[in-house]
Amino acid sequence: MNELEERVLSAMERLDDNALQDAVREAVASGFTSARIEELLQQGMSRVQKLFERGEYFLADLIVSGMMFRTALANLLPESEAVPESGKRGRVLIGVVSGDIHDIGKDIVVQVLRTEHFDILDLGVDVPAADFVRSAQDYRPDVIALSGVMGSSSVEMQKVISALAEAGIHPYTPVIVGGACVSELVMGQIGADQYARGPLDTMLFCKNVMDRKLRHE
């Protein structure tokens, strides 16, 4: 790992927003790929998560790191460089399930996917199962992403997946779940297709889905 990469990680770990944005801008100017910068940001957030688990950081610090991540990603794809519809990689429907209003993680995933040229329909927070079904029928996404943090959110995710199945949408449209309320074990229990530990997992899953579709066209 070179000095610039360590600066990105260290700035995120120290929650030094100015240093992080400077380092990310320098990385862009130096020719770092978006994927590599996203990977470094995720590693930096993992360091913050470990400090939180050890009791050295608090929930507010996790939120701050998420906001820093989101701002840094905005430097990778300014609004003026938005990709035209013809260049979009695929469609992703995303939202935080009913009863949960924690949107930092979801917003980071949205930014990562947009950086990678995916078209996103973001339903926001506290989204009932019926709204996911209705939006999926209208938007016809390639992937559906469910996010949640609260302990009860995994139950809500299962309700969404069941409703999607009843409407004939799942398993034909794969569902990926993420957030503090889920794990690989929970993923299997609620009938999801993939569990994301972070935004990069979500992005890679969506890319794989689209690659498989292209191979079968």
Positions marked catalytic: 100, 102, 153
Q: What angle do CA 28, 48, 201 make, to 5 degrees?
A: 65
Rounded distance between C-alpha atoms, residue 194 and residue 155, angstroms:
16
Query: What is the DSSP pairing of strand 194-196 with strand 119-122?
Result: unpaired
Q: Which residue has the tokens 């399930």?
A: 97
144 SS3 class: strand
Q: Which residues contact 152 (CB under 8 A, 6 or more apart)?
A: 99, 100, 181
Tokens coding 170: 């799942």
